[in-house]
Chains A and B, each alone.
Chain A
Amino acid sequence: EIVMTQSPATLSVSPGERATLSCRASQTFGSNLAWYQQKPGQAPRLLMYGASTRATGIPARFSGSGSGTEFTLTISSLQSEDFAVYYCQQYNKWPPAFGQGTKVEIK
């Protein structure tokens, strides 16, 4: 079973600044990685899949990269609506597994 570890647990960023979130896998795989955004009281929302493909309707300020065991989600210029918890998820090997999340908070 692949274990996903995200860092940092909390990221304090000012609006307009860049945010870089990391996700590490316990086993290497290709690029079958997704990212989700979750706001308080809401369901997760798909942001990215295939490590770097934006889901429908996701703004271009979100980008993803990585393969193997190291993956990154970058938000180029944080907007007020981007403050949330972000989860990565591997779907390369059964069972699908999520990271523990990174909370992006206002600095």
Chain B
Amino acid sequence: EVQLVESGGGLVQPGGSLRVSCAASGFTFSNYEMNWVRQVPGKRLEWIAFISKSGDINYYADSVKGRFTISRDNAKNSLYLQMNSLRADDAGVYYCARQMPGSYDFYDLWGQGVLVAVSS
């Protein structure tokens, strides 16, 4: 089955760190650019990070630049998001999303999401 499964969410204190992961299966992971998109409760979906197929090119939303790092391990079919200096407004559901091939920045496959809570 073609799917993405996130893990690693949880409760973290403001200023803390957390790494979330996304395991891909059912397709050739290394052939796809990948992204993280988050959804803060009551707000719109927000794209936050992109990584190229080989992992050598990354882009970030201004809201997370300098604090979050996207990475991937193609041998393990896995995508990661390292989140540092977390703030209350980073709380939400984080989705990994597969990008449609052809350099089109929309997403044809999403994981079920992982919840990140930031609170003291």
Residues of A in contact with B (beta carbons under 8 Å apart): 32, 34, 36, 42-46, 49, 55-56, 87, 89, 91, 94-101
Contacts and interface: CB of A to CB of B under 8 A. Distances in A.
B46 interface: yes
A91 B44 CA distance: 16
Nearest to B47: A96
Contacts of B59: 94-95
Given A46-B108, A49-B104, A98 B95 contact: no
Given A91-B105, A94-B59, A43 B47 contact: no
A43 B45 CA distance: 11
B88 interface: no
Contacts of A95: 47, 59, 61
B106 A89 contact: yes
Interface string B35-70: 000000001111100000000000101000000000
Contacts of B105: 91, 94, 96
Contacts of A34: 106-107
B92 interface: no
Given A43-B113, A49-B100, A87 B108 contact: no
Contact of B46 (A43, A55, A91, A98): A98
A101 B11 CA distance: 27
B111 interface: yes
Given A44-B95, A96-B105, A101 B110 contact: no
Contacts, number: 48
Contacts of B77: none
Nearest to B96: A43
Contacts of A94: 59, 105
Contacts of A36: 45
Contact of A43 (B61, B104, B112): B112
A55 B108 CA distance: 8
B45, B46, B108, B111, most chain A CB atoms within 10 A: B45
Given A42-B112, A44-B95, A96 B44 contact: no
Contacts of A49: 100, 104, 106
